[in-house]
Structure 1
Amino acid sequence: MKPVWKWIIGVLVVIIIAVIGVGWYFNRNWKPLLEERLKEVVHNSTNGLYSLRYDDLDLNITLGNVTLKNAELIPDSAVYQKMVLAKEAPNSRFHIKLTNLKVRSFNLWDVIRKRKLFIKNITFESPDIHMISEYHAYNDTIKPKETKTLYDNIKDVFSSVNVRDIKIDNVKFKFSKIEEGKSSDIQLDSIGIKVHDVLLDETSIKDTTRLFYTKMVEIDVPGFEYDLSNGLYVAKFDRLTINTQEQNVLLTKVVYKPKMSKGNYFKTRGQNVTMADLRFDTLRFEKLDFKRVIDDQQTIARNVQIKNGSISLYNDKRYPKKSSNKIGKSPHQQLLKLKQLIHIDTVFLSNVDVLYGEFSAKFHQEGVITFNNASGIITNVTNDSLHLKKEPWMRADLSAKIMNQGLLKINFGFNMMSKAGEHTYKGTLGRMQATAFNKILKPLLNVEIGEGNIRGISFNMQANDRRNWGDFRFDYDHLKINLLNKPGEDMNKTKKGILSFVVNNVLINDSNPDANEVYHIGKVNYTRVPEHTFFKTLWQSLLEGIKQCAGISKEREAKLLGAAENVKEITEGSKNVIKKTGNFFKGLFKKKDNEDKEEKKEK
C-alpha cells in the first residue's frame, strides 16, 4: 500500500473518531438539556395546561435521530378549572399517549450555526388520542387575550423549525362531549393521518395558507358505527376523508337509522313518535374553516353537498301522541336555538327521495306519500346574529316529483330575525293523474280517487307562527271519488255506488272551472293549531286551498267526511231517500192508472 493511501485512511479514521466523539459528547451533555427544554416548551406554550412525560429519550446526534418512548401528553384538570373560572379555557383539550415518537434525519450543524432545525420525518407509533369537548359560551363572545404563540416559546432556542412529513397510523381516537355534567363518547379505530410541511417561524402563524403551522393535514377514517345514547338508533358511515389544504370533508354511505323494525320501534317507544331513517351516499363540506371547528366547535363552510340518498319518516296512530305546543319550534327557529354557531353559504341537495308513511289506527293500513328525486339549494343557513342583521332571510329553492309523477317546485323564505316566525312559500305542481294519491288516501281515509286529471296547481303563501294566508289555484277535470267499505265489512257495491254518486254530484265539483264555467280560486286564511308541526300546518293550509277550489264548503266538507267515516250510516240514509223517491214515482203511476180506469168507466 502506498504511503498516500495510508495518509488518507488515517485522516478518515481521525474524522470518524472525531464525529463519534462529538456525537458522544452531545449525546451525554445535550440529552438532559433537551429533556428539560422539551418539557419547558410544552408547559409554557400551553400556559401550564399540559405536561409531557415519557420513559426514555434516545438521542443519536450523529444520525440526527431521536426516539421518545412511551410518551404521554397530559392535561391538568386543576389548571383547566382555573382557566374556566377565568373564562380562558378552550372548548377542547387532549390526552395523548403513544408507544414511540420517532424523529429522523435532523441536521445538527444547521442548529448550531443557524439555529434552524429541519426534520425529514416524524412517526407516531400506536397513538391513543382522547379529545374532550366542553362548550363555553364566552368563547363566542369574549375576545381572547394575547397569548404567546408556539414560536414565541421556542425562538430563544431555534429561529425556525421545519418538519417535512409527519406520519400517524392506526390511531385510536376517543371523543367525549360534556354537556350539563353528562359525557357522551364516540370511539374510532385505525385512523390514518398525514401531515405535510410544518413550519414554526416568526411569519408562519400569520400564514393564512396554513392550519396551525401546517400546509396540509390528511385524515382517513375507515368504517365507523356508533349506537346513540337512547339505544334506538345507530349512526354510521363507510369512510371519512379530510384534507385541510383543500378545506374539504367527505363522508360516504352515511346512515342514521333505527336499530329495529317499525313495529318494534313504536312498541318500544309506546308513543307515536316519528321514526326517521336517513341514508346518503355522499355528504361533503367544502371550504370548511377547520380552525373554528377545532377551537370553538363552530361550523363555517362555503358549501355542503348532499347527494343520492333517502329520508323516510313514519308515524303510527295506533299509539298515543304526546301533545305539546309547537309554536316557535319550526325548523328555522330550531336552527337559531343551537348553541354552536353555524354558517353555511349554500347547501346543495341532489337526488334524494323523501317518504312519509303513516299507519292508520282506524283502518289498520299504512299510507305513504313520496317526493322522488328531490333536488335544490338552500342559502344563508346560519344562526350568526351579526350576519343575520345584514341578511336575515334563509331561502330554499327545491323541486321533486310527487308520487314519482307531477313535478313540484317550491320556494321557501324564512325571516330568521322575526320573533313571530315570519316565512313565505310559493310553488307549482305540474300535470299528473290524481289517482296517484290513492296510496295515502285509501289506507288513511278509506276513500279513493276513481279518476281525475290534475292540470296544474300554484300557490303563493305568507305565514307566521299563528296563521297562513294567500292564494291557491287548482286546475283539474274529471274528478271522481269512490267511498270504500270499511275493512271487514261486506256491503253491496250498488250502495257504495249510490253514495259515491251523491258525493261526486252534490258535494264536490268534478272540474275547475266547474260545469257552470266558474273558476274557483282558494283564498286561504288558516289559523294554526298550536299542537301542529310546521309541516302539518303547511299541509293543512294547502288543503284549505284545495277544498275551496273543489267547491267544498264547510257544510259540504262535513257531509263528505261523514260519508267517508261512516258509509253504513249514509247508506241507510240513502235507502230512505230511495224508498221515498220510489213511493213518489209509484204514487204518480198509481194515480195515472186510476185516472185511466175512471175514463174508461165514463165511456
Structure 2
Amino acid sequence: MRKSVWKWILGIFLLLVLLVVGVAWYYSRNWKPIVETKLKEVVTNSTNGLYALIYDDLDLNVALGNVTLKNAALIPDSAIYRKMVDQKLAPNSRYHIKLKALKVRRFNIWDVIKNRTLFIKSIDFESPDVHMISEYHAYNDTIVDKKNKTLYDNIKDIFSAINVRDIKIDNVKFKFSKIEEGKSSDILLDSIGIKVHDVLVDETSMHDSTRLFYTKMVEIDVPGFKYDLSNGIYQAKFDHLKINTQEENVLLTKVEYAPKMSKANYFKTRGQNVTMAVLKFDTLRFEKLNFKQLIDDQQTIAQHVQIKNGSVSLYNDKRYPKKTVSKIGSSPHQQLMKVQKLIRIDTVFVDNIDVLYGEHSAKFNREGVITFNNARGTLTNVTNDSLSLVKNNLMKADLQAKIMNAGQLKIQFGFNMLSKDGAHTYKGSLGPMQATAFNNILRPLLNVEIASGNIRKINFNMSANDYRNWGDFRFDYDHLKISLLNAPDSDSKKSKKGVVSFLVNQILINDSNPDANEKYHIGKVNYRRVPEHTFFKTLWQSLLEGIKQTAGISKEREAKLMGTAEEAKNIIQGSKNVIKKTGNFFKGILKKKDKEEEKQD
C-alpha cells in the first residue's frame, strides 16, 4: 500500500514537471512570433515611425526567463525625420544603434501574465556601436504647450510597470555628429563603460525626484578623448571622464586645450598676432550638476565647479600684425551674458593654478614673461540667468597668487552682470617683494631693467566700465633705481646708458614713497580706455597710471624730463666728439715735441 502511494506521488510529480516543460516549450515556440511582432510594433509606435528595430534572431526561454537578441540594430528613418522637421516635430537628436547581442536575464513570465508587471534582473549589451546625430531646431526651444508621450504612456497598454535591476554596457563605441549650417563635425569615443542601476517605469517614476529618466543611477567611464577643433589648429583632450548621476558629479582628469603645433608654427600659421592659449588642468570637477537640464536643454546648472592643479598660458607675438577691432562689450562678464545657453554655477573653486603671460617683442626680438603662481580663490554667482540676476546682479571673484613667484597678490572683482556699459569694480593688494623680479618682462619688452627697489605694499580700489577706469592707487616703496639699456648686443646684453639712467633716477622718479621730502604720493587714476585694448590690458594700463603718479611722474613731467634725457644723450655724444678732438690735438703736440727733442739730440 505504501509503495503504491509513493508511485502515485512520483507519477504526479513527473506529470507536473512534464506539464511545466511542455507549457514552457509551447510558450517558447508560440510566444516568439507574438513577442517579435509586439516588440517591433512598440518601437515603431512609440517613436512615431522614426525608428525601426531589426535583428537576426530572438532566442526566448520562458522557463528560465531569458531572452537573447542577436545582431540587433535600432535604425532611424531619414525620410520620416525630414517630414518631422517640416512639421516642426523632429527632436534635436537621433540615434543609430547596433549591437552584437542583447541579453535579458531572469524575468518572471507569471508576473507578466498575472499582474502585467515585468521584473528583469539584468540586461547586458554586447559590443554596442552608437551613433548620435545632433541637429538643432529652434522650434524645440519655443514649443512648451505640447506634451510628448512619456515612456510609461508607450508601455502602459502592455505593462503596468517595468523594473530592471541592473544594466551593463561595456566597450561602447560612440560617435557624436553635430550638424550646423549643413556641415558636420564628429567626435569619436571608444571603450566606454556604462552601468545603470534600478530602472523603474511606472505611473509615478517619471516624477520621482530621486531618479534621472527613470533610473536611480547611471555611471559612465570614458578612458580617453581627443578632439580636433574645427579650425584644425587646436585640440581638446582628457585622460579620463567619470560621470555618476546619483552623486550628481562629473570628473575629468588631465584636461588639456592647446594648439597642435609649436609656438613659432602657431603664429606663422595664423599670420597674425592672435593670442595663443594653452590650458592644462589635472582635475576639473562638477558637483551637484543638474543632468536633466543639461541633457534636455543643454543648460549648465551646478552647485560647485573645482579647477585644481594646472596652468593657463597665454602668448602674443608682436612681430605679426594684430587685427585692430574694438573690444568694447567684450569683458569677461559681458562674454558670459552673450552665451546662448543658460549657465548657473553657485561657486567655482580655483586651486593651485599657474598663470603665465608671454609676449615676443618686435623691436627687441625677445620674449618677456610675467607669471602668477599658485593662483587660488573662488568665483561666485557665475551665471547668465537674468531671472536670478534680478535678485543678485553681482558675480564676484576673490583670487590670490604669487606674482613672479614673489609678492602675494590679492584681488577681488565685482561684476555688474546687468549693466549695459560693463560696470565692474576691482580692488586688491600686493605684499612685500623685490621690484627686480619684474625684469623678466621689462628687460625683453622695454629694454629697461630695475636695478633695485623694495616694494613694501600696494593697495588699489578701482571702478570701471567700457570706457573708463578710475580710483585710488597707493604704492609704498623705497630704494627704487632703474637702468636704461642700450640696444641688445650679443657681446654686451646688459650694456647700460649710465648718464641717462642717472638723470631719470635723479630727476624723473622718486626713489621712495614717501619721498625725500616725506611727502606721500597717492595715485588718483582716471584712465580713458583705448577701445582696441582688451579688458586685462586696460586694467594693467590703469594700474600703471597709478604707479607713475605715486612715483612722482605726471604726464607733463614725464614728457618734459624725457625730453631732457634726450638732450642729455646729445650732450653726451657732443662731449665724446670734443674729447676725441682734444685727444687728437694733444697727440699732435706730443708728436711735435718728440721730433724737436730728436733734432736737438
TM-score (norm. length: structure 1): 0.91
Note the C-alpha offset of 1:559. 6.2
Mapping of residues 139-538 of structure 1, within 5 Å? 139-488=140-489, 496-538=497-539
Give per-residue Cα distances to partners, 1:214-264, cap 9 Å, x unaligned.
Answer: 000000010222222222222111110000000000001111122121112
Equivalent position of 2:598 in the other structure: none
> 1:123 and 1:409, CA in 2 relative to 1: closer, same or farther beyond 3 A?
same
1-structure distance, mates of 2:64, 2:113: 15
1-structure distance, mates of 2:562, 2:56: 80
Question: Is this contact kept in 1: 2:488–2:494, CA < 8 A?
Answer: no
Note the C-alpha offset of 1:570. 5.1
Moved more, 451-460 or 136-145: 136-145
1:572 to 556, 570, 573: 570
2-structure distance, mates of 1:193, 1:560: 71
Question: Is this contact kept in 1: 2:483–2:496, CA < 8 A?
Answer: no
Note the C-alpha offset of 1:560. 7.1
Note the C-alpha offset of 1:197. 0.3
Note the C-alpha offset of 1:138. 4.2
Give per-residue Cα distances to partners, 1:80-99, cap 9 Å, x unaligned.
Answer: 34444454443322221111
One-letter amino acid of the counterpart of residue 237, structure 1: F
1-structure distance, mates of 2:307, 2:493: 52
One-letter amino acid of the counterpart of residue 249, structure 1: V
Q: Percent identity?
A: 76
Question: Is this contact kept in 2: 1:483–1:563, CA < 8 A?
Answer: no
One-letter amino acid of the counterpart of residue 39, structure 1: K
Note the C-alpha offset of 1:211. 0.6
2-structure distance, mates of 1:450, 1:147: 73
Note the C-alpha offset of 1:179. 2.4
One-letter amino acid of the counterpart of residue 473, structure 2: F
Note the C-alpha offset of 1:556. 3.8
One-letter amino acid of the counterpart of residue 260, structure 1: M
Moved more, 163-172 or 80-89: 80-89
SS at match of 1:26: helix
Give per-residue Cα distances to partners, 1:308-349, cap 9 Å, x unaligned.
Answer: 100011111111111111111122111111222211111110
> 1:237 and 1:572, CA in 2 relative to 1: closer, same or farther beyond 3 A?
same
Give per-residue Cα distances to partners, 1:10-56, cap 9 Å, x unaligned.
Answer: 33332222122212222233222222222232233334333322222
2-structure distance, mates of 1:258, 1:578: 52
2-structure distance, mates of 1:379, 1:85: 43
Moved more, 493-502 or 379-388: 493-502
1-structure distance, mates of 2:34, 2:322: 69
Note the C-alpha offset of 1:110. 1.0
1-structure distance, mates of 2:496, 2:206: 84
2-structure distance, mates of 1:454, 1:183: 55
Ranges of 4+ aligned residues in structure 1 off by more than 6 Å: 489-495, 559-564, 577-581
Note the C-alpha offset of 1:553. 1.8
1-structure distance, mates of 2:69, 2:203: 27
Question: Is this contact kept in 2: 1:499–1:574, CA < 8 A?
Answer: no
SS at match of 1:370: strand
Equivalent position of 1:98 in the other structure: 99
Mapping of residues 8-47 of structure 1, within 5 Å? 8-47=9-48
Equivalent position of 2:73 in the other structure: 72
Question: Is this contact kept in 1: 2:485–2:496, CA < 8 A?
Answer: no
2-structure distance, mates of 1:518, 1:333: 41
Question: Is this contact kept in 1: 2:484–2:496, CA < 8 A?
Answer: no
SS at match of 1:267: helix
One-letter amino acid of the counterpart of residue 572, structure 1: N
Structure 1 regions of 5+ residues with no counterpart? 582-603
Give per-residue Cα distances to partners, 1:255-299, cap 9 Å, x unaligned.
Answer: 112212111211121111111111101000011111111112111
> 1:447 and 1:390, CA in 2 relative to 1: closer, same or farther beyond 3 A?
same
> 1:563 and 1:384, CA in 2 relative to 1: closer, same or farther beyond 3 A?
farther
Equivalent position of 1:584 in the other structure: none
Note the C-alpha offset of 1:479. 0.3
SS at match of 2:289: coil
SS at match of 2:444: helix
Note the C-alpha offset of 1:4. 5.0
Give per-residue Cα distances to partners, 1:95-151, cap 9 Å, x unaligned.
Answer: 211111110110011111111110010001111111222334444444252222111
Question: Is this contact kept in 2: 1:92–1:295, CA < 8 A?
Answer: no
Note the C-alpha offset of 1:66. 0.9
SS at match of 2:319: coil
Give per-residue Cα distances to partners, 1:434-482, cap 9 Å, x unaligned.
Answer: 0000000001001000010111111111111111111111111110001
Aligned length: 578
Note the C-alpha offset of 1:574. 3.5
> 1:573 and 1:489, CA in 2 relative to 1: closer, same or farther beyond 3 A?
farther
Question: Is this contact kept in 2: 1:495–1:571, CA < 8 A?
Answer: no
Give per-residue Cα distances to partners, 1:485-511, cap 9 Å, x unaligned.
Answer: 211287899972211110101111111
One-letter amino acid of the counterpart of residue 324, structure 1: V
Structure 2 regions of 5+ residues with no counterpart? 580-601
SS at match of 1:80: helix
Question: Is this contact kept in 2: 1:168–1:192, CA < 8 A?
Answer: yes
Question: Is this contact kept in 1: 2:486–2:496, CA < 8 A?
Answer: no
2-structure distance, mates of 1:561, 1:179: 57
SS at match of 1:287: strand
Question: Is this contact kept in 2: 1:139–1:296, CA < 8 A?
Answer: no
Moved more, 256-265 or 570-579: 570-579
Question: Is this contact kept in 2: 1:91–1:295, CA < 8 A?
Answer: no
Note the C-alpha offset of 1:206. 0.7
2-structure distance, mates of 1:98, 1:175: 17
One-letter amino acid of the counterpart of residue 273, structure 2: N
SS at match of 2:27: helix
2-structure distance, mates of 1:551, 1:580: 35
TM-score (norm. length: structure 2): 0.91
SS at match of 2:497: helix
Note the C-alpha offset of 1:575. 4.4
2-structure distance, mates of 1:49, 1:423: 51
1-structure distance, mates of 2:53, 2:560: 80
> 1:489 and 1:501, CA in 2 relative to 1: closer, same or farther beyond 3 A?
farther
SS at match of 1:476: strand
